[in-house]
């Protein structure tokens, strides 16, 4: 089974702090994604990466950055956390190459971040 592991289940940070959310997958997937989930808004894509050191902006990249130094790890960075970034963050991975658009995403359990 594909395992996508997010380093923290719950996180509480203060406004202005730099926050790192870590995600590791063990299935050698090329694609990795960060979504945030908010009530009434569903899942919104923040960033994704289809290869090491590659990144693409999603629908709501403002206030976030990402890092993909190794294939299995995809980090989401909040440079200066703000209260409107309080949310559930979901990491996912999928197979890449030409079949990527039909590959199911495999999700981690999520990190519930609270910024106070």
Partner 1 sequence: AQKVTQAQTEISVVEKEDVTLDCVYETRDTTYYLFWYKQPPSGELVFLIRRNSFDEQNEISGRYSWNFQKSTSSFNFTITASQVVDSAVYFCALSEAGQAGTALIFGKGTTLSVSS
Sites of contact with partner 1 (CB under 8 A): 30-31, 33, 35, 40-45, 48-51, 54, 56, 58, 88, 90, 92, 96-98, 100-102, 104-110
| Spatial CB neighbours of 44, under 8 Å, sequence gap ≥ 6 | 35, 36, 37, 38, 58, 59, 60
CB of 14 to partner 1, least distance (A): 24
CB of 16 to partner 1, least distance (A): 27
Closer residue to partner 1 (CB): 80 or 109: 109
Q: How many CB atoms lie within 10 A of CB 101?
A: 7
Contact predicate 45/58, CB 8 Å: yes
């Amino acid at each position: 089974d594909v395992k996508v592991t997010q380093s923290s289940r719950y996180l509480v940070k203060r406004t202005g702090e730099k926050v790192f959310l870590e995600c590791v997958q063990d299935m050698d997937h090329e694609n990795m994604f960060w979504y945030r989930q908010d009530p009434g808004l569903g899942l919104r894509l923040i960033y994704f990466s289809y290869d090491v050191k590659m990144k693409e902006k999603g629908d709501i990249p403002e206030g976030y950055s990402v890092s993909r130094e190794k294939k299995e790890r995809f980090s989401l960075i909040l440079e200066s956390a703000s209260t409107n970034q309080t949310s559930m963050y979901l990491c996912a991975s999928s197979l890449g190459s030409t079949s990527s658009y039909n590959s199911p995403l495999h999700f981690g359990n999520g990190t519930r971040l609270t910024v106070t």
